[in-house]
Amino acid sequence: MSVNLKLLDHIQLSSRVHTNFACEYSEDGKIFLLLENGVGILTLKGCMENIFPRFSFRKDLITLSNTSLCENIDVDLPSFINDLNKQSFYESVLDVGLSGNTLNATTVTSRPVCAMWSPRGIVEKTEGALTVLTSLHNIEIYVEIIDENEISSFIRVANFSKDIADYYRRSWKKIDTFTQENKFCELKRRVDLVTPTAFTWSHVILKDRKAFCILFVGHRDGSITAWRFVERKASEVYESRLQFLERYNTKLKEITSLHWFCRKSDDKIKFSDEVVFSTESDLKVDKITIMNYQNITYMITVKQNYLQIYAINGYGEVFEGKQIQVGNIYITGSSCIPYHIDSRCAISLMPIYITPGYKCPFCKCVVSKEMDREYYPIFCPYCDVPMKRRCFDKKYKKITEDTLETINPDEVVISECNNDCLKDEIHFSDIEENTVDYIVLTDSEDERDESVKELYSRIKNIVLSSPSYEIEPIIPSTAGGSGHQPDTSPKSTQDQGEHPDENDGDDEEDDEDEYDNDDAYVNE
């Protein structure tokens, strides 16, 4: 079954988008948008084949709570903050993780930092849940419920800050007899222990006719905790309790991104020593993508102005890696391997300024693509129609469009991607293998053609072949870049780690249950 993409409508948001990577599509037909005033939810409706070019959806807005995790760790900062020395006083006021809204000051508004849909199947066996990390360092889980009047709404069903504080509270000592500075040190220790900085979902796990997912959470002290979220019905309105499973201490500090990738399973959950890909304390990981091709796992990370590609074999060993420093130029990834000659599938849908090269006659989208010989049309990533080539007029020194007739929408030529890689459950062996150059996007309309061509020539030479631990930048650091060159120190330590002492308790969630053993890739 082929899929035809077209531009349906422009959506007017109630507020500005708050962060990068602020949109994600769920398996059950919902889209979240991270806005300054909350999380917007677009639920796709029926009648998508309507002849009228209108986007059929329902709008919902989730207003996040102002709950701060530091309010639940049994340390009353306002009671001794005036007795702290100057350095500790400034640190407590400026660090939202330490003070939150506990001080008698201007209220800090909770805003979404990142969000992720859970896999489909943990709500009414067909729906998913939405997990949101707030700027006040709290993780909240929301689901859509349907009341007796068949009216749906989103409610919070889990409060991570409360659950993790309840779990560790039994090991905390009373601090009534501590000095003021010791109280502050204990406050920082507890905050680093429980404050979440990143999270990811596992796939749905079935056991004893019960479905659940594991929520992996990264913390400020570099540790990772695993929590079980059990399936629930859409009519249930009570809050669920996240069940603690395991804790693992890494060598990282303040984990910024987590990604779950299922590689193999032996019906158990356990942690092994991490493999270090690259270290750079000043850069955070914005996005992680994992793909499998010909028994090789490829991990692609967006780390500010660095694009990192690593190849991992079946034993979990990193045998090759490349790093690209792109400055203010964006490089697209591909959604199908091998690529198609028309590159319809290789164009990233990023809302940024794009270097002109080809222009869509309908939505006016422009892309830049360089090919030695162009026998095939370039398709618009939004409308899926052939784009017009934009040429440079030497006489008038400006960019002009080819004198081609505007294509009638009823006579649209369908790209090869619609008949090939966009099919459901397509296999790589069914895709025709073709060769295509890279497509480069830039965030500046004034980007020089010479710099783009230089990037083309350098990217074409990237090959993941023989083992190499020296990762060279494709484009040297410039004044506009970060100026930092991360080093790489891969480790092949794959021994099973020790179970932490926090697992000793009388709760039922501390028992040694059996779960799927899959890999959660972590980057600092």
Q: What is the secondary structure of 209-224 as a DSSP string?
A: TEEEEEEEEEETTSEE
Cα–Cα distance, 28 to 168 (Å, whole number): 35
Q: How far, in Å, CA of 249 to CA of 258, rounded?
A: 14
pLDDT, tens digit (0-9, with 9 covering 90-100), for 16-57: 887 767 888 888 778 888 888 889 888 876 554 555 555 567
> How many angstroms separate the CA atoms of 258 and 474, rounded?
26
Helix (H, G, I), strand (E, B) or coil at 373: coil
- The answer to the question of residue 518 being in a domain is yes
One-letter amino acid identity for 342? D
Task: Please indicate, yes or no, if residue 295 is contained in any of the structural domains.
Answer: no
Beta-strand runs (E) in 357-480: 358-359, 366-367, 388-393, 398-401, 440-442
Of 446, 463, 483, the residue at which a domain comes to its end is 446
Q: Which helix (H) or strand (E) holds 42?
A: strand 38-44
The reported pLDDT for the residue numbered 370 is 45
Give residue 275's pLDDT. Answer: 67
In this prediction, residue 272 carries a pLDDT of 66
Q: What are phi and psi of 102, to 5 degrees?
A: -80, -25
Report pLDDT for 266.
Answer: 61
Radius of gyration of the chain (CA): 25
The total domain count for the chain is 2
116 and 253 share one domain: yes
> Which of 502, 505, 507, 506 lies closest to 271 in space, CA to CA?
502
Per-residue pLDDT, 350: 33
Whole-angstrom distance, CA of residue 148 vs CA of residue 466 = 62
Determine whether 89 is exposed, middle or buried from the number of CB atoms within 10 Å of its CB (0-12, 13-18, 19+).
Answer: middle
49 within a domain of the structure (yes/no): yes
Task: Give the Cα separation of 364 and 378 in Å (integer).
Answer: 14
Does 458 map to a domain? no
- Report pLDDT for 402: 45
Q: Indicate if 123 and 269 belong to the same structural domain.
A: yes
Q: State the DSSP code for 97.
A: H
Question: In this predicted structure, what is the pLDDT of residue 90?
Answer: 78
Give domain status of residue 336, yes or no: no
Final residue before a domain boundary, out of 446, 463, 479? 446
Pairwise CA distance, residues 82 & 448, whole Å: 56
Each as own residue / partner, the long-range contacts of residues 402-408 (CB below 8 Å, 24 or more positions apart, any chain) are: 406/361, 407/361
**Within 13 Å, how many C-alpha atoms sit on residue 87's CB side?**
2
Residue 285 to residue 136: CA distance in whole angstroms? 20
DSSP per position, 241-273 = PPEEEEEEE-S-SS--EEEEE-----S----B-
Whether 369 and 271 share a structural domain: no
3-state secondary structure of 142: strand
Q: Same domain, yes or no, for 268 and 417? A: no
Does residue 334 form part of some domain?
A: no
Q: Are 144 and 156 within 8 A, CB to CB?
A: no
Q: What's residue 201's pLDDT?
A: 92
Claim to verify: residue 112 and residue 193 sit in the same structural domain = yes
422 and 516 housed in the same domain: no
Q: Same domain, yes or no, for 413 and 511? A: no
Give the pair of three-digit tokens for residue 256: 């910024």
Same structural domain, 118 and 265: yes
Do 131 and 238 fall into the same domain?
A: yes
- Domain, as residue range, for 367: 344-446
Please list, in sequence order, all residues whose beta carbon lies within 8 angstroms of the beta carbon of residue 212, skipping any fewer than 6 positions away.
122, 204, 205, 228, 229, 230, 231
Work out whether the CA dihedral 349, 353, 358, 362 comes out positive or negative.
positive
Q: Which alpha helices (DSSP H) does 60-147 contain, by range?
A: 86-94, 96-99
Are 211 and 121 spatial neighbours (Cβ–Cβ below 8 Å)?
Answer: yes
pLDDT below 70 — which residues of the chain?
Answer: 1-10, 20, 45-56, 101-102, 104-106, 263-284, 304-305, 326-385, 389-524
State both tokens at 367.
């892309």
| Same domain flag for 266 and 415 | no
Q: Name the DSSP letter for residue 136.
A: T
pLDDT of the residue at 487: 37
- 202 within domain boundaries: yes
Looking at the structure, tell me whether residues 103 and 186 fall in a common domain: yes
Is the same domain home to 367 and 263?
Answer: no
pLDDT of residue 463: 56
Q: Return the pLDDT at 69.
A: 79
The dihedral formed by the CA atoms of 77, 79, 80 and 82, expressed in degrees to the nearest 10: 100
In whole angstroms, give the CA distance from residue 465 to residue 488. 17
Looking at the domain assignment, is residue 321 inside a domain? no
